Amino acid sequence: MILNQIKKELNEFEIFKCEMYHEIVKTNSITKLPIKKCVDGKDVFLRVKLCNINLRQKRLGCAHSSVNLRFNALLDKIKVDTNKVNKIKIKFNQTINNIYLLDHKKGNLEKEYANLLLRNNIDLNKKHNLQNKIDDCVLIHNNYLNTLSLLKVELIKIINQNILKE
C-alpha cells in the first residue's frame, strides 16, 4: 500500500470524546430512578444505547468496536521509519487497553451509583464521592483520547516526511 493511500485511510479515523456515555444507566423520565430488568433471573440495569455502528467504525478509542484493530492493521502497512511506527503502535495499544479497563471501571461505578439512587436513604457523601469518581473516569478518558490524537498526528507527520522523500 502506498503512503498516500495509508495517509488517506488514517485521516478517516476520528477522535470523539464521548465520555463513555454508553455506560450511563437509563432512568425513568418521571421518577428519575434507574431502570432495572430481569435477564436470566438476574436484575440488570438498562443502559443508554451505544452510538451508531457507522460512527463506531471510525472513532478510535471506542471500547465497543473493531476500529482499533483496523487501525493497528493499517499501522502494520507502514514500512517506513519502522522503529518510530512500532513505538507509536505500542503506545496506541497501551492506551487502548487502558480505555478498555476504564470502560469497565466507569460501568461498575455507574451501577454502584444507580444502586445508591434506588436506596431509600441516600448517603449524600457517598453519592458525591461516586459522582466524583465517575467524573474522574471521564477526564481520564479524555486524556487517553488526547493521546490517541497525538499519536495519529505523529503518524501522519512520519508519512508526510516520507512522501516528500519519494
Q: Which residues pair with 60 in a beta bridge?
A: 15
Domain boundaries, the chain: 3-165
**Distances in Å between the alpha carbon of 2 and those of 44, 106, 163?**
49, 40, 9
The per-residue pLDDT for range 72-125, each reduced to its tens digit, is 999 999 999 999 999 999 999 999 999 999 999 999 999 999 999 998 788 999
The pLDDT confidence band at residue 142, using thresholds 50, 70 and 90, is: very high
Residue 22: closest CA among 104, 94, 89: 104
Burial classification of residue 1, based on how many CB atoms lie within 10 Å of its CB (0-12 exposed, 13-18 middle, 19 or more buried): exposed
